[in-house]
Amino acid sequence: MASTDPTSGPEPAAEPRWRRVLVLVGIVALAFNLRPAAVSIGPLLDEISDGLHMNDVETALLTALPVVCFASVGALAPRLAALIGLHRSAFLSLIGVIAGLAARAHVHDALWFLVLSFVSLSGMAIANVLLPSLVKLHFPDHVGTVTALYSTALAIGLTAASTLTVPIAEHGGGATDWRAGIFAWALLAAVAAVPWLGLLRGDRRTHAADASIRGADVARTRLGWAMATFFGLQSLQAYSIFGWVAKLYRDNGFTAHTAGLLLGVITGITIPLSWLIPRAAARMRNQGVLLTALMICYLIGYLGLIIAPHGGAWVWALVVGTGTCTFPLVLTLIGLRTRTPGGTAALSGFTQSVGYLIAVIGPFGVGIIHDATGSWRAPLIVLLALCVPQYVVGMAACRPRFLEDELESAKVTP
């Protein structure tokens, strides 16, 4: 099959077809489980907060915890892969997701719930960084297509957690059982670990050549900072939405069930777009047109939520959800802006760890601003204003160039 990606690298080392298929299944299953630990909280936030007697700060911290974990733990992923291998690292990340999800559904203390949420989200953080490297290693000739496949799986998992958590919690027809609603996702994560068991044998530590590019090297490049800032601002937007929009809808008169469905619209539109955007981006030399279209959707959606949050709720959910598809775009750019798996790992680790440090202020800040003003108008205006720098750095990240070339240029420049 001919390559369709303009950044095609060398063919991967010959390996049995069954193993490549198993890798692909493992990547898709892993991606599916990289959001439920975070987004299953939003639709049940009031019930969880009341059930665990959380104060306002603890509740705000819970919504910010995904980006805290991604910032603090994600940077360790390239080093972990270099020590024990990509496949073992992916398997361990899933074990963390499973353990944290299962245990937090049975605790009765807010602090332990936060700690166990950190465990599950840390597993997600490591896997987030590893996925682009796995794609570059096994499918360097089809970065756009495979990224589209796992981005779509991620979007399906995101949508399923957004829309099904409340129905699962209400499965008995009586009072909402938030514990059942969040425990269900541990069972699916356990299923996702199965294909990785078949990939552990023969896994190896990353070759020295693959691990020669470090986060500190990426930090010396303009591309690295453009990617990290773009990733950070798009994550700030997305996790503010995932963490608080269900409560915004409930505060505007919608039931928990309908608020979950509206969040499901936001996440659901990302399913087809997560398939289309990476494949389109891989065929473009400059992805600025795609970015412009997505950022216009944020503009329309936020203005709609400010002006008519109830009357146009379904329309605003659709266009805001389209705006969040800057995420599959930036994931694709990580693979398109590097030439080697080692470069991909380094750029992915730096982009996501620094990016999530930026993003952490989003959901926490939205909660603080809402508490201070008693309104959703002020936090929405702030998110709208942040679209401007996001667009500027995003356009810089869309300019065609490669991390390895910038590093080589830095070496020869006197």
Distance CA 137, CA 134 (A): 5
278 inside domain: yes
412 against 248, higher pLDDT:
248
Of the pLDDT bands very low, low, confident and very high (cuts 50, 70, 90), residue 376 is: very high
Average pLDDT over residues 88-97: 93
Smallest Cα–Cα separation from 37: which of 90, 97, 89, 92? 97
Domain that holds residue 162: 17-412
| DSSP one-letter string for 134-203 | HHHHH-GGGHHHHHHHHHHHHHHHHHHHHHHHHHHHTTTSSS--HHHHHHHHHHHHHHHTHHHHTTSTT-
Most confident of 167-176, 180-189, 404-413: 180-189
Mean of pLDDT over the chain: 86
pTM above 0.85, yes or no: no
- Asked whether the predicted pLDDT for residue 352 surpasses 80, the reply is yes
Q: Are 197 and 92 in contact, with CB atoms under 8 Å apart?
A: no
Give the pLDDT confidence of 148-182 residue by residue, as tens digits: 999 899 889 888 887 888 888 887 554 568 888 88
In the prediction, which pLDDT does 15 show? 67
302 inside domain: yes
Of the pLDDT bands very low, low, confident and very high (cuts 50, 70, 90), residue 202 is: low
3-state helix, strand, coil in the chain (%, to 5): 80, 0, 20
CATH (domain of 377): 1.20.1250.20
2 inside domain: no
101-107 — which CB contacts under 8 Å span 24+ positions?
101/36, 101/37, 101/182, 101/183, 101/185, 101/186, 101/189, 102/183, 102/186, 104/182, 105/179, 105/180, 105/182, 105/183, 105/186, 106/179, 106/183
Distance CA 239, CA 250 (A): 18
In the prediction, which pLDDT does 400 show? 92
Burial 282-320 (b: 16+ CB within 10 A, else e): bebeebbebbeebbebbebbbebbbeebeeebeebbbbb
Distance CA 334, CA 331 (A): 5
The CA angle 264-310-244, to the nearest 5 degrees, is: 50
Q: Are 74 and 126 in contact, with CB atoms under 8 Å apart?
A: yes
- Asked whether the predicted pLDDT for residue 205 surpasses 70, the reply is no
Residue type, 36: P
In the prediction, which pLDDT does 120 show? 93
In the prediction, which pLDDT does 99 show? 95
12 inside domain: no
1 inside domain: no
243 against 324, higher pLDDT:
324
In total, how many domains does the chain have? Answer: 1
Q: To the nearest 10°, report the CA torsion of 213, 76, 237, 263.
A: 130
Most confident of 1-10, 85-94, 296-305: 296-305
289 inside domain: yes
3-state secondary structure 50-106: HHCCCCHHHHHHHHHHHHHHHHHHHHHHHHHHHHHCHHHHHHHHHHHHHHHHHHHCC
406 against 38, higher pLDDT:
406
Give the pLDDT confidence of 316-330 residue by residue, as tens digits: 999 999 999 999 999
Q: Are 80 and 27 in contact, with CB atoms under 8 Å apart?
A: no
Question: What tokens does 122 get?
Answer: 């840390």
6 inside domain: no
Strand ranges in 276-410 using DSSP code E only, listed in sequence order: none
Residue type, 34: L
Q: Are 142 and 4 in contact, with CB atoms under 8 Å apart?
A: yes
